[in-house]
Amino acid sequence: MNELKIVFIGCVQFSYDALTELLTLPLKDRIRITGVITREKSDFNSDFRSLKELAESKGIPVLIASGNDQSSMAKQIRSWSPDVVYCFGWSYLLSQEILNIPRLGVIGYHPTLLPANRGRHPLIWALVLGLSETGSSFFFMGEGADNGDLLHQARLPIAQDDDAASLYRKMTAVALEQIREFTVLLRDDRYRRTPQDHQSANVWRKRGQADGQIDWRMSAHSIYNLIRGLTRPYVGAHFMYQGEEVKVWKSDVAVVEDRRSHIEPGKVLRIEGHILWVKCGEGVIRLTEHGLTNIPKEGAYL
């Protein structure tokens, strides 16, 4: 009977969760992790998590990657003789040499409904743009980013009260179930490759610090989406007050009968303990969790 040999590459929390899920599969499922490639530290992954201890605790060989040394990675992967490579949570595109090693290919992951919304910061953009739905897509990696044939895809609704943390948890739960399903399909050669429609694709750009700054001229709903998209574990939306950067972690759109269209955006309309009611370009927002230490008075401007 067929055995599926997998090499696993990753260095973020999702990588750790996915590898943990694979390691829970019983031996009778004939699925074996023959090697793991990870990092011991990262300067640019906010959700970094090394797989070294987890793999070693299960007796799985580990390669600690240095920089983007793909020739060393290719040599090691080749020695592990995988049928397939899972690459979930890696900051570099893999070389064609690596992509050609496994018999079945290299499987990547992108949390959108590919071909829509390729590119950077997919969870953040989905929330900031106020989307009501996103997706969880596993695909065969190729020369470009997020453009390979689809292996498995699931739809995921986004609730109005979802934020970065809750959406990540929901996405992870869906993705882990997908991994269990398609791993068996790969083992039994019952999988399908579905080419993406590149004509309908778009690519989300990289976000910078300026993208996280609250502009009170925005609508209350837009500011709410920005705050929930950037809340923990991310860096947080912010505004400037008295020369200091102030983070906002939680908010809600206030229900007010009087929209006060004659009042300028940024004016503090009400103070309730630490909660600030602030006039926006359209509507009013309540800042319920923030980093203000010097609470402004009612009538002040942020």
Going from N- to C-terminal start, the domains of the chain cover: 4-203, 209-290
Place of tokens 């996103």: 134
pLDDT at 288: 98
| DSSP-based three-state secondary structure for 116 | coil
Encode pLDDT of 203-224 as tens digits: 999 999 999 999 999 999 999 9
pLDDT at 92: 86
pLDDT at 192: 96
Residue 178: φ, ψ to 5° = -60, -45
Domain 209-290 CATH (choose: 3.10.25.10, 3.90.1570.10, 2.60.120.10, 1.10.10.10) = 3.10.25.10
pLDDT at 120: 95
Q: Residues of the chain whose pLDDT is less than 50?
A: none
Q: How would CATH label the architecture of 4-203?
A: 3-Layer(aba) Sandwich (3.40)
E runs forming strands in the chain: 4-9, 31-38, 62-64, 84-87, 106-110, 118-119, 133-140, 150-157, 203-204, 237-241, 244-253, 268-272, 275-279, 284-290
pLDDT at 256: 82
